[in-house]
Structure formats: structure tokens, C-alpha cells
Amino acid sequence: MDNSTLNSSVTDQNYTSEGNAELTFLHFTVAAAIAIVLCLIGIVGNSIVFWYLCFKIKRNKYTIYIINLSVADFIYLLFTIIVLMIHINTLSSPHPDFEGKDSLLKFLEILSKSAQYSGMFILTAISLERCLSVLYPFWYQCNRPQNLSIIICAVLWLIGCSESLIDNLVCSEEAFMAQTRECTPVQIIIFGISIVICLPIMVISSFTLLIKIKRTFREQYPHKLYIIIIVAVFVFVISVIPINCLWFLMYFKFLQSSMGTLGLYFASVYCLALNGTIDPYIYFIVGKKWKQKTSHSIQDVLERAFKTEDDENDSKSNGTSNTSNTSSQTNLASTF
């Protein structure tokens, strides 16, 4: 559902009666305030991750995905706050409507959904790529292009923005409520992309990584990136997928009441905000060494969280070369 549909629902409830308007304003403001706080926490976390991965930590093929995922989460959370503040103004202001309000809401909806869809695609891509690196390590190392992560992220952003544009321009408020011939296939395709394509890829990839962890756990502790992907996918599945299913049911008139619409909107906001907020804190928790009582810098935590086999091999090779150089210098000194 777009924000103009919510705005109509809120406005209708606002002017039913004075007492009902005050009650609606109170409930909406409290719910919106909680969502705004949650979004602010997520904005802080994603900003920190973006800063360190871009400017403080050496990038690898997976941190490119994480940077783009943080940007997508940041955009969604930021525009969600703006939309909620506009709706609070609708309920509280003596002049709830202002010039260009509907156009602004539509613009914000397009941007936020672009970030939402792109984030889903990026999480799917990183899950699939990590799964392929586990199943076919030799083929993966030999055939993977160096700039593949950048190319994939650019393509996924383009697809996400295109999907959002089609969703918002074809399925307007009236088209969504009337189930027009143009809107129905768009809703089915969007639902199919998330449930039929992205969800199975993420789930199968996560189970593959779980099996890998189980097999290698006794020999060595699994890479933290495995755990990050599994937890991030789990959070996405339990928070986003049920909401997508509910909106799909609502489109086909299984959910019809205006109060249900408003409640479902906030359920969507909370779940999507939670999904975008929790990701950076997953990185912090997984990357920290809990057995050590000493404090850790954010940079060290994130470096441990996203270290790959290539990074470890580079460290070992550098250590070996340094050791051999030291030995050569020692032997040369003893000779003279």
C-alpha cells in the first residue's frame, strides 16, 4: 500500500468525530514515535557501518555488498521517518493538507520502495555468492570477475528502482483499491519475485552455509561472514515475508477494514524498520570477541566480521614473506 492510501485512511478517521480524532491522533503519534526511534537507531548503525567500510577498512568482494545494503537500509529508514512526520502533521495540524503533499508522498514512496527492493536483491545476491563459493570453491576462485560485486550491485539497484517505479505509477491508490487489470499483474509479479525467487535462494543458501558450519566446526571456527548472512536472512524471513503475504491478501480483499489497514501499515513499518535497523548490530555482535574482556574498536570488530579466506591467505603470505626476509637478513649478518 502506498502512503497516499494510508493518508486517506488517517484523514477519514481524523474527521469522524472530535473524540475519535483525539484518540486516533494519540494512538498514531505513539505508534509513529516508536517507529521513528527505531529508525533513528538504524540510521546511526548503518551510518557507522558505511563510514568504516568505505573509509577505514580494506574492501573485499563482500564488503561491497554490505556497503550497498547499508545505503539501502539508511534510505528506507530516513524516508520512513519523513513520511511518519507528514502523517503526524496531517492529524495534528489545523491545515493538514499543503500544496504538493500527495506528490511528495508519492516521491518518498518511490524512493523508499526502491531502497526496500534493492536491499532484498542485494541480500539475495550475497547469500547466493557465498553459497557458490562454498559449493564450488575452485571454480569460484578461477572464474569470478574482479569487479563482479560492483556490477551486480549496480544492476540490482537499477532493477529495484524500476520495480518501485512500476509499482507506484501503475498501482496508484485508486488502482490498488479497485484491483485494476493493470495493477493486478504488477502485484502478482512483485509478490512472486520476493516469495518465488528471492526467498528460496536465500533459504537454500543459508541452509548450505549451515551445513558447511556443522561440518567444519570441529576443525575450525566458521567464518563470521557465514553467521552474519544466516542471521540476516533469518531476520528478513521472519520480518518482511509475512508482511508481504498480508499485503498480497489485502489486495485481494481478504483484509478490508480501515482500522486493519492502519494496523497493517504500522506492522509493516515496524517489521521493515527492524529488518533495516538490526543488520549493522548483527555485524557488531558477530565481529566482537566475547571471550576477551578488553575493549574492541569498531574498526577491529568490522574487520573480523567481514574477513574472508582471501584476506586470511594474504595475511599468511605476508607473514611468511616477512619471516623469510627476517631469516635471510639474519643469515647474511651471521655470514659477515
Q: How many other CB atoms are found less than 10 A from the CB of residue 315?
A: 11
The angle formed by the CA atoms of residues 97, 99 and 104, to the nearest 5 degrees, is 90
User: To which H or E segment does residue 94 belong?
Assistant: none
Q: pTM of the prediction?
A: 0.85
pLDDT computed for residue 14 by the predictor: 47
- Map out the domains of the chain as residue ranges: 3-311
* Residue range 3-311, CATH number: 1.20.1070.10
> Within 13 Å of residue 68, how many CA atoms lie on the same side as its CB?
26
Q: How many other CB atoms are found less than 10 A from the CB of residue 112?
A: 22
Question: What is the per-residue pLDDT across 177-209, written as a single tens digit (0 to 9) for each?
Answer: 788 888 999 999 999 999 999 999 999 999 998
Question: What is the per-residue pLDDT across 114-153, written as a single tens digit (0 to 9) for each?
Answer: 999 999 999 999 999 999 988 888 888 888 898 999 999 9
- Mean pLDDT, to the nearest integer, of 57-77? 95
User: What are the Cα distances from residue 232, in Å, to 109, 236, 250, 278?
Assistant: 24, 6, 27, 8
